[in-house]
Amino acid sequence: MDLLISDVANKEHIGTSVTLRGFVSNIRKGKNNVFLMLRDPSDVIQCVSHVSDKTFSEVSKITRESSLELTGKLKEDKRAEGGYEISIDDLKIYGLAEPFPIKKGHKKVFLFDNRHLWLRSRRVTSIMKIRSSVFESIHEFFRNNGFYEMQSPSFVGGSVEGGSTLFEIKYFDKKAYLSQSWQLYAEAMVDSLWKIYTVAPSFRAENSRTWRHLTEFWHAETEVAFLDLNGLMGLEERLVKHVVKNVLLKNQVELNVLKRDQTMLKNAVEKPFLRMNYESVIDLANKNGLKLEYGADLGADEERVITSKLDVPVFAMNYPIKLKPFYHKPDPSDPTHVLCNDLLAPEGYGEIIGGGQRVDDKETLINRLKEDGLNPDDYKWYIDLRRYGAIPHSGFGLGVDRLVMWICKLPHIMYVVPFPRTPRRIYP
């Protein structure tokens, strides 16, 4: 008992009686037999009942997406999908399904309205399996490299990534916000633990409705003591290589279901990532038809042009100070720029990581807060960290959903989240 299709659909089990549970993904009825495709998390298998079988009348009642347990003899059948077939000897129906609303050819909005049912499709299941591998690999990477897993609150009193994307909520008689990033708390925890990470949801009231923005996304963040920008980029590269390598090892079946060309994924594992400073990135964009001035911010459209031309991920480094939040450390050799990096995924995807070296000096921090229009009094505890034994430190945030989207090469971030949240969608 408790066997999956992938455990039994093999030469070893031919001629034996097997019991499987699952959902019926397809039904074909003939005059003398009924064929069911039984689906479980591992695979699908063809099951058949002939008119002379005692199970025939009950099998004939079964509808698409009904759930059941069946027992029968396994045999090889070259014509069946997967190459095996079970002749049904015994049957227990858990739930007889009403007519299933999802059929081939539905539009995206209908499918997301029925996300709770659409999740069962082979394609979506494949994406979710890859998503699971990505999360597993992130935890594995940090745990194997001596990081502590630490949590920060989701209810917070102020902004990290700019006020325009803050979700305001009523917190008893006060105002509070949903966290945009664990970073400020991480900078406190890093003083005692030195190497920490988290994987948690972050929230952004992004009204931009692009193909790569969610209002709730999964954020893998890390903070490391005594690490500079250069070392940080090395850490980012090792993490991304580890994740992609694991997916290539574990998820060949799923990548093939998605018809994912794997060249760029293999490149990301085998070749070094590029490193370019901000001005070179602007030059590259302009060489490819854009007309950007130095000082222009890079959004999805610009990054699409830049990364369509590349065959490995690229670090875009040292942005002008005006383009980045207060916590980035100004470059000592050119304080008009900061020691930051965005890691841009190839094939048009763009930013999957944002990070950098942090301001470690109290006066600079207070000035930077004011320049960003923030009140230093609201950041008293954060400023304290620069008053009592400041250390050089760096960190980054990886958008896990964006990484999954690129690995699967999908056109919209909603496809990689079980129940996505966007400005227009909070159901189901």
Instruction: Determine if 397 is a binding residue for ligand 4AD (CB under 6 A).
Output: yes
- In contact, 181 and 221? CB cutoff 8 Å: yes
- Which residues fall within 8 angstroms of residue 18, CB to CB, at 6 or more apart? 3, 8, 71, 72, 73, 74, 86
Minimum distance of Mg ion from residue 299's CB (angstroms): 10
- In contact, 72 and 18? CB cutoff 8 Å: yes
Nearer to Mg ion, 153 or 299 (CB): 299
Task: Look at phi and psi of residue 289 and say left if phi exceeds 0, alpha if psi is from -120 to 50, else beta.
Answer: left
Choosing from 206, 311, 347, 372, the residue that interacts with ligand 4AD (CB under 6 A) is: 206
Minimum distance of Mg ion from residue 319's CB (angstroms): 10
CB neighbourhood size of 397 (10 A):
24
Minimum distance of Mg ion from residue 4's CB (angstroms): 41
Nearer to ligand 4AD, 34 or 416 (CB): 416
- In contact, 182 and 200? CB cutoff 8 Å: yes
* Binding-residue pattern over the window 163 to 202 for ligand 4AD, x denoting contact by CB under 6 A: -----------------xx-x-------------------
Residue 181: half-sphere exposure toward Cβ, Cα within 13 Å: 23
- In contact, 315 and 341? CB cutoff 8 Å: yes
Minimum distance of Mg ion from residue 24's CB (angstroms): 45
* Binding-residue pattern over the window 335 to 354 for Mg ion, x denoting contact by CB under 5 A: -------------------x
CA dihedral 396, 202, 165, 300 (to 10 degrees): 60
- In contact, 49 and 56? CB cutoff 8 Å: yes
Nearer to Mg ion, 115 or 304 (CB): 304
Nearer to ligand 4AD, 241 or 324 (CB): 324
Phi, psi angle pair for 271, to nearest 5°? -100, 150
Nearer to ligand 4AD, 206 or 347 (CB): 206
Residues in 352-371 that interact with Mg ion by CB under 5 A? 354
Using the contact rule CB under 6 A, the part of the chain among 243-251, 266-274, 280-288, 351-359 near ligand 4AD is 351-359
Q: Which residues pair with 221 in a beta bridge?
A: 198, 397
Residue ranges binding ligand 4AD (CB under 6 A): 160-161, 180-181, 183, 204, 206, 213-214, 217, 219, 221, 351-355, 395-397, 399, 401-402
